[in-house]
Amino acid sequence: MSSDHTLTRDEIDSWLHLSSPRVRFLKTLPYGASVLDLGAGDGSLALFKNWLTPHRPDIRLYGVSLADGPHMALYEGWENKNFEVDEPFPGQHFDAVFCSHFVEHIEGGPGRLMPWIASRLVPLGRVYIETPSVFSKTGPRRATLREAGYLVSTTNFHDDGTHIDTVDLDTLRGSFTQAGFFIDESGYWRNPFLEPILIDLSRQTTVEFYATAAVWMATRFAQYAVGVKDDAMPPAWGMPLPL
């Protein structure tokens, strides 16, 4: 597959992230949205508020992680909690919940998590869930790719010993509908144009993310779904349709 192109590295970075379902979810939230970042890790989601247009300084982020993250100061609130034993931000409701590669680390998976998320969202609140797909269990192992000269992090579900289990995309979608969500979008993280470009770029840098992202996209490692709580078709949402 050819990767001939005229993109600069900055353009590659911009297109890689802006075309990802994660960043699209954040950038398209309603103005002033409060967002619970469940399993926030290092807090890097906050970087996308003011990097890449449109800038979204109006979004208020609240992070939950097992430990402090280097970007936690960019959040309105941050709690170090283990979701399995301690409920985060008790009594607080949010306009959106962002949950990327967290579900596979808890017992019960999305079937357990989605009703809890529904209980913490306001009406018409939005949720983004991303988790490894069933294809991730048969993808190339990190050690094999590193031996072949590719600088990658996790490329197979079993590379991460803290993973418990995952579900297929139909089951993930089913957990949304059973919890009362209308599914706006779902699928796998793919960008066939960028995949070979990222492999080439990975050979020129020491950044693990480029080759890892290329493998994830090419093997459909990451699946996602976006849902709206108790969604109703317009005009029930308050804005009259132009006729």
Q: Render each residue's pLDDT in the chain as its tens digit; 243 residues.
A: 567 788 999 999 999 999 999 999 999 999 999 999 999 999 999 999 999 999 999 999 999 999 999 999 999 999 999 999 999 999 999 999 999 999 999 999 999 999 999 999 999 999 999 999 999 999 999 999 999 999 999 999 999 999 999 999 999 999 999 999 999 999 999 999 999 999 999 999 999 999 999 999 999 999 999 999 987 665 555 566 555
pTM: 0.93
Selected from 3.90.1010.10, 3.40.50.300, 3.40.50.150, 3.40.50.800, the CATH number assigned to the domain covering 9-229 reads 3.40.50.150
Of 139, 196, 149, 132, which is closest to residue 2 (Cα–Cα)? 196
Q: Tokens 């009703």 sit at which residue?
A: 115
Amino acid identity for residue 159 in this structure:
D
Query: Where does residue 138 rank: exposed (0-12), middle (13-18), buried (19+ CB within 10 A)?
Result: exposed
Q: Tokens 């297109």 sit at which residue?
A: 15
C-alpha 149/C-alpha 99 separation (Å) is 31
Query: Where does residue 106 rank: exposed (0-12), middle (13-18), buried (19+ CB within 10 A)?
Result: middle
